[in-house]
A and B are shown apart, each in its own frame.
Chain A
Amino acid sequence: MSTGAGSHSVLTGASVIQAVEYNVTRAMNAVTVSRQGHSVERAPEVRAAKRSPMAISGAQPTAGLPGLSALIVAIAERGDRAAFATLFNHFAPRVKSYMLRLGADGQLAEELAQETMLTVWRRADGFDPARAAASTWIFTIARNLRIDAARRGQRMKHDDPFDETIAPDLPDAILSAAQDETRVASAIGQLPLDQARVIREAFFSDKPHSEIAAELGLPLGTVKSRLRLAMARLRGLLGEAA
């Protein structure tokens, strides 16, 4: 993979706030979609624009499955192509964005986004809405396919990139926290800016922590300890509410 110049720009404080606010808005939208049903296919940006920022505050109950999860379940249960199209329109452009950030060129990013969505279709029966949010599940597919693509050049005999997803049973408190996008998004929103920043970098920079540290102009130890603090804080926030 080539690294696009400028694709790892250092985030300003303001853009982190925007990103975090956007996260929360997005998560709320996911809830909204489920209430509206998903027969209407609308660009997420349009929905985002229609949401009032006031909707961010206050814990809205997530009765039933959040909409995007229900779409995956519809694929698993009845091969619902309209549900797939809605998921594709929402996630493919974001998965492509993720791949580009991690240094894929346009063509590879497009292919990996396609591959991710094809995997969503084929493995929909393995999605458990009680275990993970739709976005989490799709993130792990995209991540695994990216790792798999990166090592295709190696001599290693190919093994199943999803072999690792056989995970042990998780504690209920963690399951209920982690599958709830709204809660996770609001927990991220409560992180101090410097912690939110290192978290983003950990996901969207294909670089060792030492290089991230150099880019942020911080000592390596500081980046590591911020990352640990951020995770401990998220764990606390999600655990408390359980």
Chain B
Amino acid sequence: MTPRRHPISDRLIEYAAGSLNPERRLVVGAHVRVCPACAGEIAIVEAVGGVLIDALPAVEMHEDALALALARIERPAPPRREPAPGIQGWIDAPAAAVESARRRRRWAAPGVWVAPVIGGPYGRRSYLLGIGPGISVPRHTHLGSELVCVLKGAFEDRGEIYGPGDFCESDEDVEHRPRVTHGGDCVCLVAVDASLVARDWLGRIFQPLVRI
């Protein structure tokens, strides 16, 4: 299934140029690896990067640099890590997300689990959020922005359905209350610049528990 909702081109350019922070990079990357259209955009930007790096003025390397490199290539390479098997029912997801889901998942509220992927419980970070069918995230807004890629299931937000592989970005002007569809549970990979700002009483109770 090909995703229908994509990052804006700014994000794809930043991804290809390498200027996204690691938290955002992970979420944009999760979408790109299942989205041929965005991967194509990125291939073009990377080709531009190749031409530009090739055109940079050469900076002198250390005088022994080539000798060192030729010695290093003779050393045995460390074994390549086998990619961990994916998770049943998920899209093909980044290894870091799969590993977090297996090892760092904790129940945060009935029907809701979280697993940190990059960063701690506060501030800029990325995490997995698993939510049961029909459950809503309490109304909230953000300081800075929130990037989401759906790894499993679907949620509804502001009249739109986001399904597997879909990407959704909300900035601080957005106040929303996403709800998981009734078809099944939903797992999202999320990057935030800062903690959510709860907008109702339920959220203010929910947030300290879930710490999202």
A-side residues, CB < 8 A to B, are 19, 22-23, 26-27, 30, 44-45, 81, 84-85, 88-89, 92-98, 100-101, 109-110, 113-114, 117-118, 121-122, 131-140, 142-144, 146-147, 150-151, 154-157, 159-160, 163-164, 166-171, 174-175, 177-179, 181, 184-185, 188, 199-200, 202-209, 224, 227-228, 231-232, 234-235, 238
Partner of A235 from the list B35, B36, B41, B99 (CB cut-off 8 Å) is: B41
Query: How many residue pairs at the A-B interface have CB separations less than 8 Å?
Result: 212
Which partner residue on chain B sits nearest A165 by CB separation? B33
Among B52, B56, B118, the one with the most A-chain Cβ atoms within 10 Å of its Cβ is: B52
Tell me how far the C-beta of A215 lies from the nearest C-beta in chain B, rounded to whole angstroms.
14
Distance, CA A117 to CA B95, complexed state (A): 24
Partner of A159 from the list B47, B99, B119 (CB cut-off 8 Å) is: B99
A-B CB proximity, top 4 nearest: A136-B50, A93-B58, A135-B50, A143-B18
Cβ–Cβ contact A94 & B53, under 8 A: yes
Interface string of B43-60 (1 = CB under 8 A from A): 111111111111111111
Name the prevailing secondary structure of the A interface residues: helix
Partner of A206 from the list B19, B43, B119 (CB cut-off 8 Å) is: B19
Count the B residues whose beta carbon is within 8 Å of the partner chain — how many?
A: 58
When distances are taken between beta carbons in the complex, the residues of chain A under 8 Å from B34 are 168
Cβ–Cβ contact A224 & B10, under 8 A: yes
When distances are taken between beta carbons in the complex, the residues of chain B under 8 Å from A101 are 56
When distances are taken between beta carbons in the complex, the residues of chain A under 8 Å from B35 are 168
Known: A154-B119, A159-B96. A168 touches B33 (CB 8 A): yes
Cβ–Cβ contact A23 & B55, under 8 A: yes
Known: A92-B69, A147-B18. A163 touches B56 (CB 8 A): no
Known: A137-B50, A167-B39, A175-B43. A97 touches B72 (CB 8 A): no
